[in-house]
Structure 1
Amino acid sequence: MSDELLIIDPVDVQFPIELNKKVSCSLNLTNKTENYVAFKAKTTNAKKYYVRPNVGVVLPRSSCEVLVIMQALKEAPADMQCRDKLLFQCKVVEPETTAKDVTSEMFSKEAGHPAEETRLKVMYVTPPQPPSPVQEGTEEGSSPRASVSDNGNASEAFVDMLRSLLVPLFSNAASSTDDHGITLPQYQVFINFRGDELRNSFVGFLVKAMRLEKINVFTDEVELRGTNLNYLFRRIEESRVAVAIFSERYTESCWCLDELVKMKEQMEQGKLVVVPVFYRLNATACKRFMGAFGDNLRNLEWEYRSEPERIQKWKEALSSVFSNIGLTSDIRSNESKFVDSIVEEVKKVLIKIGTEEREL
């Protein structure tokens, strides 16, 4: 195990059989070496399964999560047996390599680039059975239960009940203590970033570092953008701090910019503090919309030229957030130290918010 570049857990890809419904299995890829390790995932049945992300780079002494999704089955397999497999190829790459640099050619044996390979079996499992319902009023001293109308949804009622119990805890600024004895209010921290570019490299490293410091961080880890943007808007509304990570490809994404517009609205209402981070970018060039950052924005403007009001909101949001004091890195920066500086800045903001609210 110690010689493996990536340790994959679990060792099998298990899918509960639920008809007419997509199901997924989460895999954790851990790099215990001192090297940057690139990976690429393949399946024996590309029409049936897809992997998100299917390529990436795992930083030294860190890990990332990969989601394997199976298309909905119309009927249950006769014998619950599956012959499909998932292949992970991985190899050591140069420091500072990112997911966008990973290509199939890097793992080609024919081209003289052999890679370490790990094969995982796909297995079907029976989904857990729900507990038997308990009749109301049959237990003395039982806790209150949420009632659901005939045309209601039990799952939504259960979520609402949990929310009613948990939200007051966060609104009262629950806190945790870090390793230095500093109390950190557990307000939610939202991370806004270009997923395809950074999810499995820099942002994954940053999220892990924040969680180690007991920061309550939320990030779109499984690419919810586009299909569930309203959900992400709600998470922004629930947050008190947001970290906007501007990268070269950030302005390729209308979803990133729509999130930023929402963040600006919350910021102007005094409900959110936004910390801008310029990742491998010149902050001044970004603010002037120069270089690839500006070119990508202009390309997006052309694509959405029929929505001038939306474009204007994007520009206003960028200008507004750019006016905040931010953190900057370039290609020569030490990523580990840069992550630490972001974490420390977020901790300062959290402590300041908690102090100000206690003084009210």
Structure 2
Amino acid sequence: MQRLPAKMIAKIARPACDVFINHRGIDTKRNVSGLLYDNLTRMGVRSFLDSMNMKPGDRLFDHIDRAILGCKVGVAVFSPRYCDSYFCLHELALLMESNKRVVPIFYDVKPSQLVVKDNGTRSPKELQRFSLALEEAKNTVGLTFDSLNGDWSEWLRNASDAVIMNLREVEEARVSLVITTNTSSVHALLKKF
């Protein structure tokens, strides 16, 4: 999978959100994705859910791609028909290509059931891009939820905790990198004297 250069990401990205929620709206917007967005927002986490963060006139790809590139953590909510959506797969691929930490949530679907299908509308390059991103997500530890037998409040608590934990880890790594970089700069400067 080809990664985007850090300079390109920095130029495009404006930190509009902490968490980007990638989902198939028709399957999960009114339950899993909407509940997670509301709960994270109540906790003070700046989350992006297309129906909540976009207004008429916004250009879909521009707005969504900018949010993905600017987020710290992505949440991929996989549902039975997730792979039918070009938008879902594009967003997932962009999350992976920009090296975002992604928390997979498997809602009424097993990872093994998620397959990119060639329906004749996608180029071979897109199929490969989407398949690589999907495989990477399937090989990432995530959460599963069975809507018929699962405990919604327990799931929401676990999902929110997982997102918060990942946000903390990303932020701690960023702060550590800044400190290390600054320390190295100071050492290099001191060596000159």
Give me the whole-angstrom Cα distance separating, in 1, the residues matched to 2:129 and 2:174.
Answer: 30
Give me the whole-angstrom Cα distance separating, in 2, the residues matched to 1:231 and 1:315.
Answer: 24
Identity across the alignment (%)? 27
Deviation at 1:303, TM superposition (A): 3.2
Q: Is the 8 A contact 1:277 1:326 kept in 2?
A: yes
Instruction: Specify the SS of the correspondent of 1:197.
Output: helix
**Which is richer in strand?**
1
Deviations 1:16-48 (A, max 9, x none): xxxxxxxxxxxxxxxxxxxxxxxxxxxxxxxxx
Match of 1:241 among 73, 93, 107: 73
Deviation at 1:187, TM superposition (A): 5.9
Match of 2:103 among 240, 263, 275: 275
Residue of structure 2 equivalent to 1:153: none
- Note closer, same or farther for the CA distance 1:316–1:356 as it changes in structure 2 (3 Å cut): same
1:309 lines up with 2:122 in the alignment? no
Amino acid in structure 1 at the alignment position of 2:124: P
Larger of the two Rg values belongs to structure: 1
Q: Is the 8 A contact 2:19 2:48 kept in 1?
A: yes
TM-score w.r.t. the length of structure 1 is: 0.42
1:21-100 equivalences under 5 Å are none
Give me the whole-angstrom Cα distance separating, in 2, the residues matched to 1:260 and 1:248.
Answer: 16
Deviation at 1:321, TM superposition (A): 1.4
Match of 1:343 among 150, 153, 160: 160
Residue of structure 2 equivalent to 1:212: 42
Runs of 4+ displaced beyond 4 Å: none
Residue of structure 1 equivalent to 2:181: none
Residue of structure 1 equivalent to 2:8: none
Number of residue equivalences: 160
Instruction: Specify the SS of the correspondent of 2:126.
Output: helix
Deviation at 1:206, TM superposition (A): 1.1
Instruction: Specify the SS of the correspondent of 1:325.
Output: coil
- Note closer, same or farther for the CA distance 1:217–1:257 as it changes in structure 2 (3 Å cut): same
Residue of structure 2 equivalent to 1:355: 172
Q: Where do 5+ consecutive residues of structure 1 fail to align?
A: 1-166, 171-185
Residue of structure 2 equivalent to 1:334: 151
User: Which structure ranks higher in relative contact order (CA pairs < 8 Å, sequence separation ≥ 6)?
Assistant: 2
Give me the whole-angstrom Cα distance separating, in 1, the residues matched to 2:17 and 2:87.
Answer: 24
Give me the whole-angstrom Cα distance separating, in 2, the residues matched to 1:358 and 1:202.
Answer: 31
TM-score w.r.t. the length of structure 2 is: 0.75
1:324 lines up with 2:156 in the alignment? no
1:253 lines up with 2:85 in the alignment? yes
Amino acid in structure 1 at the alignment position of 2:166: V
- Note closer, same or farther for the CA distance 1:240–1:222 as it changes in structure 2 (3 Å cut): closer
Q: Is the 8 A contact 1:195 1:223 kept in 2?
A: no
Deviation at 1:241, TM superposition (A): 0.3
Give me the whole-angstrom Cα distance separating, in 2, the residues matched to 1:354 and 1:302.
Answer: 40
Q: Where do 5+ consecutive residues of structure 2 fail to align?
A: 1-13, 178-193
- Note closer, same or farther for the CA distance 1:302–1:187 as it changes in structure 2 (3 Å cut): closer
Deviation at 1:356, TM superposition (A): 2.0
Instruction: Specify the SS of the correspondent of 1:215.
Output: coil
Give me the whole-angstrom Cα distance separating, in 2, the residues matched to 1:281 and 1:302.
Answer: 21
Q: Is the 8 A contact 2:92 2:133 kept in 1?
A: yes
Match of 2:26 among 186, 196, 213: 196
Amino acid in structure 2 at the alignment position of 1:358: V
Give me the whole-angstrom Cα distance separating, in 1, the residues matched to 2:68 and 2:160.
Answer: 19
Q: Is the 8 A contact 2:79 2:107 kept in 1?
A: yes
Residue of structure 2 equivalent to 1:147: none
1:126-165 equivalences under 5 Å are none
Give me the whole-angstrom Cα distance separating, in 1, the residues matched to 2:157 and 2:91.
Answer: 25
Q: Is the 8 A contact 2:17 2:48 kept in 1?
A: no
Deviations 1:327-351 (A, max 9, x none): 1112311122111111000111111
Give me the whole-angstrom Cα distance separating, in 2, the residues matched to 1:202 and 1:243.
Answer: 11
- Note closer, same or farther for the CA distance 1:348–1:228 as it changes in structure 2 (3 Å cut): same
Deviations 1:33-64 (A, max 9, x none): xxxxxxxxxxxxxxxxxxxxxxxxxxxxxxxx
Q: Is the 8 A contact 1:187 1:350 kept in 2?
A: no
**Which is richer in helix?**
2
Instruction: Specify the SS of the correspondent of 1:303.
Output: coil
Match of 2:95 among 259, 263, 281: 263
